[in-house]
Structures are given as structure tokens and as C-alpha cells.
């Protein structure tokens, strides 16, 4: 199954993998220089050398439902593993002295982009923004 954000090229990849498939795709948006949401329903296709693959509509965003702030780091494997070496067992990996995660980011053993994603999730207080009709 191919799953991911809208406009990242899931259907384009399928067209490259399966000759003659010709799944509908759209051009890159000139206004935003990004792909555009095109697939509107899930569909399964047979692969040329056996097996099947499902193309799914793009996802607009992910939310952190029913997740406590203390749990966010558990969903980032490298942050979770490194946190075992933090001075404090309740370290938030944002400012504490002796934080192994901050040291790993500084030493580029944890990528800055992954750490930024972690911080973004920590700061995301409105978990209802991803829910429709609540």
C-alpha cells in the first residue's frame, strides 16, 4: 500500500512501476511548486512480477491523538534510544542540563529535521485541529 501526504507522487511512482498503467496524475502546481491532490479513492493494482499494490488518496495531515507530551519522544526511535543517557529520567529534551538528545542533535547524530518535528509535536497543543466535525 502506498500511503502519504497529498501530492508527493504516489500515483506517479505506480505509473513508473507498472508499464501502461496510466493512473491519473496532475502536474506540479506552478503557484506552490508542489504536487497536487489527485487520487480520490483507493485502488489495487497487480504488479508485473507478482503481488499487488494499493494506491490511496493523500493525507492532509497527521495529528497527535491521545498522546501525552511525555510520550512524544517514544515515537522517534533515535530520540527514545538516546534519551536513556539523559541525566534526568523526566527530561523533555528541550533545555535540561545533561540532556543526551540535545547533545546528539548538536553532534549531528540525530538529524535537526527529526528534532524539529519532535519539537513541533510537543508544541502542538490543539489536537482537535485535525478532527473534522468536533
Look up residue 93 and give its DSSP letter: S
Q: Where are the alpha helices (DSSP H) in 9-132?
A: 10-17, 77-83, 100-106, 112-123
Spatial separation of the C-alpha atoms in residues 103 and 93, rounded to whole Å: 10
Any idea which of 11-15, 90-94, 103-107, 124-128 has the lowest mean pLDDT?
124-128
pLDDT bracket for residue 94 (50, 70, 90): very high
Q: Read off the pLDDT of residues 45-66 as tens digits, 9 standing for 90 and up.
A: 888 889 998 888 877 665 556 6
Share of the chain above pLDDT 90, in %: 34
Instruction: Give the Cβ contact number of residue 40 at 10 Å.
Output: 9
Q: What is the pLDDT of residue 127?
A: 53
Average pLDDT over residues 58-76: 75
> Domains of the chain (ranges plus CATH)?
1-62 (no CATH), 69-125 (1.10.40.50)
Amino acid at each position: 500500500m502506498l500511503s502519504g501526504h497529498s501530492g508527493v507522487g504516489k500515483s506517479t511512482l505506480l505509473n513508473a512501476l507498472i508499464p501502461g498503467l496510466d493512473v491519473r496524475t496532475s502536474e506540479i502546481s506552478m503557484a506552490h511548486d508542489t504536487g497536487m491532490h489527485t487520487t480520490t479513492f483507493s485502488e489495487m493494482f497487480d504488479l508485473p512480477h507478482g503481488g499487488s499494490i494499493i494506491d490511496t488518496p493523500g493525507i492532509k495531515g497527521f495529528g497527535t491523538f491521545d498522546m501525552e507530551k511525555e510520550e512524544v519522544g517514544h515515537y522517534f526511535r533515535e530520540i527514545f534510544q538516546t534519551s536513556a543517557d539523559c541525566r534526568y529520567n523526566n527530561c523533555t529534551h528541550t533545555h535540561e542540563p545533561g540532556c543526551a538528545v540535545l547533545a546528539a542533535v548538536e553532534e549531528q547524530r540525530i538529524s535537526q529535521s527529526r528534532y524539529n518535528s519532535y519539537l513541533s509535536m510537543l508544541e502542538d497543543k490543539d489536537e482537535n485541529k485535525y478532527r473534522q466535525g468536533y
